[in-house]
Amino acid sequence: MFLPQEIIRKKRDNLELEAADISRFVQGITDNSISEAQIAALTMAIFLNGMSRDECVALTLSMRDSGKVMDWTSLDLPGPIIDKHSTGGVGDTVSLMLGPMFAACGGYNPMISGRGLGHTGGTLDKLGSIPGYNPFPTPEQLSKAVREAGTAIIGQTGDLAPADRRIYAARDVTATVESIPLITASILSKKLAAGLDALVMDVKVGSGAFMPTPELSRDLAESIVAVGTGAGLNISALLTDMSQSLAPCAGNALEVRCALDYLTGVARPERLHGVVMALCTEGLLAGKLAETREEAEEMLRKGLDSGAAAERFSRMVSILGGPGDLLEHPDKHLASAPVVHDVPVPDDGYIAAFDTRALGFAVVALGGGRLRSDQEIDPAVGLTDICELGAPVKKGDLLLRVHARSEEACHSVLPMIYEAVQISPDPSATKDLIQGRVVGK
Catalytic residue status for 217: no
**Residue 284 · residue 296 · CB < 8 Å:** yes
137 DSSP 8-state letter: -
Helices 180-193 and 53-64: crossing angle, nearest 10°?
A: 40
Between the two ends of the chain, the Cα-to-Cα distance in Å is 37
| Residues found in the chain | 441
Q: What CA–CA distance (Å, rounded) separates 436 from 441?
A: 16
* Strand-by-strand arrangement of the 339-344 sheet: 339-344, 398-404, 382-384
∠ Cα 90 279 59 (to 5°): 85
Indicate which residue of 64, 115, 126, 191 is catalytic. 191
84 is catalytic: yes
What does the alpha-carbon distance between residue 72 and residue 94 come to, in Å, rounded to a whole number?
24
273 catalytic per annotation: no
Q: What is the DSSP letter of 74?
A: G
Q: How far is residue 204's CA from residue 270's CA, in Å, rounded to a whole number? A: 17
Q: Collapse the DSSP code of 273 into the 3-class scheme (helix H, G, I; strand E, B; otherwise coil) and give the result.
A: helix
186 catalytic, yes or no? yes
Per the annotation, the verdict on 411 as an active-site residue is no
**Alpha helices, DSSP H, located in 178-292:** 180-193, 214-230, 252-264, 270-286
- Given the residues 43, 62, 65, 83, select the one marked as catalytic: 83
Q: Which residues pair with 350 in a beta bridge?
A: 392, 424
CA 180 to chain centre: 17
119 is catalytic: no
- Active-site residue, from 43, 66, 186, 281: 186
Return d(Cα 119, Cα 31) in angstroms, integer: 33
* From 11, 115, 126, 171, the catalytic residue: 171
Q: Which of 95, 123, 179, 217 is catalytic?
A: 123
C-alpha distances (whole Å) from 116 to each of 42, 63, 147, 203, 249 are 27, 22, 28, 16, 16
190 is catalytic: yes
How many angstroms separate the Cα of 286 from the Cα of each of 99, 144, 283, 405, 439? 15, 25, 5, 44, 10
Give burial (CB, 10 Å; 0-12/13-18/19+) of 276.
buried
Give SS3 for 250. strand
User: Which residues participate in catalysis according to the annotation?
Assistant: 83-86, 123, 171, 186, 190-191
